[in-house]
Amino acid sequence: MGAHLKLFNLKSVRTQCLVWCGALLLYCQVGVAQAQVIIMNGVAVAREAVAANGVTPHKMPGFSISVDEKKLNLLEDYERYIRHRMWEKALTSLKELSDTKSTSRLLPTKDGFLIDAEDRVFQALTALPAEGREAFRLFFDGKARKQFEDLTSSGQLLTPQAIQEARLVFSQYFLTSIGDDVADLLGNDAFEQGKFPQAARYWRAILDHHPDSNLSEVDLNVKYALALIR
């Protein structure tokens, strides 16, 4: 009898635990809060969280993420000049945007999402329309070609300092006539270093944004695919 009672008590305790765990899980699912990150005065701020059922939870702390306000203003100026086809002012803003040292690693997209600042500037560069790209090459092609020739003629492209300089050429002058070549070299170096996502990014940039490249599209696609599967 005692053994039977003990077994009954154990089953009862187990049943109660399962019931309470189920109730807790249901409560957590119902009470899931949703927050939205918005940009206000150069700062990403989490708006007041609201539960899925529309009820605002009490004492739910928000958070803020700093963004580079100077770069954000330059980016807005650049995109405004692009809309008005003011190419010289747009390219001046873009050059200043590339040269300005970031105080934050994040910048917002047009949709309000925070992404890496360098990626955001690259998005702005590759969004130039055809007329703007022609102006970009007129402004920067000579300087970009000179920098690239200095890198490749030295035979020291694989040194850390040379790679850093090549990355600057890529980020600032990708739309020039040597942009695809420097991207390919950086892709090859990243692949050899085992940095496969970076290699894929460089080769994808050529395929997506450098339609007049003299590099073999087949070779680029093969290298891009190899980087993805590694």
Any domain includes 20: no
Q: Report percent pLDDT > 70 for the chain.
A: 70
Q: Which residues contact 210 (CB under 8 A, 6 or more apart)?
A: 174, 175, 179, 180, 183
pLDDT over threshold 80, residue 47: no
Residues 137-169, buried b or exposed e (16+ Cβ, 10 A)? bebbbeebbebbeebbeeeebeeeebbebbbeb
- For residue 144, what is the domain's CATH number? 1.25.40
pLDDT over threshold 50, residue 66: yes
**Which residue did the predictor score with more confidence, 11 or 69?**
69
Q: Report percent pLDDT > 90 for the chain.
A: 44
Any domain includes 19: no
Any domain includes 76: no
Any domain includes 15: no
Any domain includes 104: no
CA distance 226 to 230: 6
CA distance 91 to 22: 60
CA distance 211 to 213: 6
Q: Which of these ranges, 77-86, 109-118, 190-199, has the smallest mean pLDDT?
A: 109-118
Any domain includes 80: no
Any domain includes 187: yes
**Domain residues for 159?**
140-230
User: Which whole-number Å values give the CA distances from 130 to 42, 96, 120, 133, 137, in the listed order?
Assistant: 31, 21, 20, 5, 11
Label residue 62 by pLDDT band (50, 70, 90): low
Residue 138 tokens read as 């007129």
- Counts of helices then strands in the chain (DSSP H, E): 9, 7
Write down the pLDDT at residue 205. Answer: 97
Q: How many domains does the chain have?
A: 1
- Residues β-bridged to residue 227: none
Any domain includes 169: yes
| Cut 0.75: pTM above it | no
Residue 102 tokens read as 């970031």
